[in-house]
Amino acid sequence: MTEEPRPGRANAITDVDGVRVGHHQRLDERWATGVSAVVVPEGATAAVDVRGGGPGTRETDVLHPTHLVQQAHAIVLAGGSAYGLSAADGAMRWLAERGHGFPVGETPHEVVPIVPAAVLFDLPMGEWGNRPDATFGYTACDAATTSETRQGNVGAGTGAVAGSVKGGTGTASAVLGDAALPGGATVGALVAVNSSGAVIDPATGLPWAVGLELAGEFGLRPPDAAEVEAARERAGSRPARRGTSARPLNTTIGVVAVDAPLSKAECHRVAVAAQDGLARAIRPAHAMSDGDTVFALSTGRSAPETDDRARWASALDGLCAAAADVLARAIVHAVLAADPLGDVIPYTGLYRSVRE
């Protein structure tokens, strides 16, 4: 199974058929937080893998492979720590108003939208009490399109910090060719990077996952030695917006989507593998102060074009490997796209020579 960029596509999770993305954020002197919604109104098979020691999540138990509900209708990623979970209420309302959800009655409007959610800790980046609520989730869903590709200080990554540099929202995609998958498959990821671990190799000044780039998409060169040395002195510090150290409560949260037809259990395998990509791009990962959580969605409707279980297992392995790669690449994109916020310096500000 080959993995490559898709000509004419956006290198984003919205390259996956059936996936819409919407963001809503507030960023000013008093606010630095937001919400990202991955919207699949007609439903997509869904699963989740939670690896961090301090997760903030909602509706993750329903995604267990043995439980009744098979599909989710949106995934919400939010800032605001546990307070931000209320953003999912707004996403549910948006979906219910349009009749999207798990049917529980005889009429079309009698539905319960399934909206799993995960949050990250960005409270030190704004004034206390300024965090996402239900209106953020509703607005993010209302803004969702199949062409959304913004990265950096947007959505759930607005107030994010990645180690000692500014974090943010990132996305990536890849196309795989395999005869067991009708027309091949597209795999995409959306991630909000707010890690306690570093995204940069201190020895080189380059992102840990830079070796995963396809067709030179990152466009980086090794930074000057003086910049690498200066950055080492900052290593280990986690800045807040106004120059004080932030509490070590962090979390990287994301969604991986595929347009191949997967069962709930197979989606879970994709989510598990995608966490490997997180660990390649962030070191250390899955700490007690992180809530690292990755959701997986399958929008595929047609059955695999094979009855050979060994062949299908090989195709699934390819999807899992691609999920890890696209999530790692999305993490790099998030860091490269981030803008400064108060005293928090972005990667491209700390290592200016990487783009010269």
H helix intervals, 103-191 = 134-142
pLDDT of 178 higher than 90: no
Specify the long-range contacts of residues 221-229, CB closer than 8 Å, at least 24 apart.
221/353, 221/354, 221/355, 221/356, 222/354, 223/351, 223/352, 223/353, 223/354, 224/353, 227/350, 227/351, 227/352, 227/353, 228/202, 228/203, 228/204, 228/351
User: In this structure, what is the dihedral angle of CA atoms 334, 336, 339, 340, given to the nearest 10 degrees?
Assistant: 110
pLDDT score, position 233: 78
Q: Which of 152-156, 260-264, 311-315 has the lowest mean pLDDT?
A: 311-315
**pTM for the model:** 0.95
Determine the average pLDDT of the residues in 168-179: 90
The CATH number covering residue 157 comes to 3.60.70.12
The predicted-structure confidence for 89-101, as pLDDT tens digits, reads as follows 999 999 999 999 9
Does residue 144 have a pLDDT over 60? yes
Question: 1-23, pLDDT tens digit by residue?
Answer: 455 555 568 999 999 999 999 99
* Rounded alpha-carbon distances, angstroms, from residue 85 to 33, 229, 294, 305: 13, 40, 16, 39
- Per-residue model confidence (pLDDT) at position 303: 65
pLDDT band at 280 (very low <50, low <70, confident <90, very high): very high
**Cα–Cα distance for residue pair 271/252, rounded to 1 Å:** 14
Lowest mean pLDDT among 119-128, 258-267, 296-305: 296-305
CA gap 279, 169 in Å, rounded: 17
- For 222, other C-beta atoms within 10 Å of its C-beta total 14
Q: Strand 32-50 and strand 293-298: pairing?
A: antiparallel
Integer Cα distance of 239 and 245 in angstroms? 5
pLDDT given for residue 5 in this prediction? 53
Question: Structurally, how many domains does the chain consist of?
Answer: 1
Query: What is residue 9's predicted lDDT score, i.e. its pLDDT?
Result: 81
Quote the DSSP letter at residue 86. Answer: G
Least trusted range by pLDDT, from 150-164, 183-197, 244-258, 279-293:
244-258
Q: Supply the pLDDT for residue 286.
A: 95
pLDDT per residue as tens digits for the range 325-356: 999 999 999 999 999 999 899 999 999 999 87
List the helix and strand counts (H, then E) for the chain: 6, 14
Tokens of 184: 């091949």
pLDDT digits (tens, 9 = 90+) for 222-261: 999 999 998 887 776 778 777 666 566 689 999 999 999 9
Please give the pLDDT value at position 237: 73
pLDDT, average across residues 54-60: 97
Q: How confident is the model at residue 305 (pLDDT cuts 50, 70, 90)?
A: low
Structural domain for 116, as ranges: 2-355
Confidence label for 310 from pLDDT (cuts 50, 70 and 90): confident
Q: What is the mean pLDDT of residues 291-307?
A: 85
Q: How confident is the model at residue 308 (pLDDT cuts 50, 70, 90)?
A: confident
Is the separation of the CB atoms in 315 and 78 below 8 Å?
A: no
For position 234, what pLDDT does the model report? 75
pLDDT reported for residue 69? 95
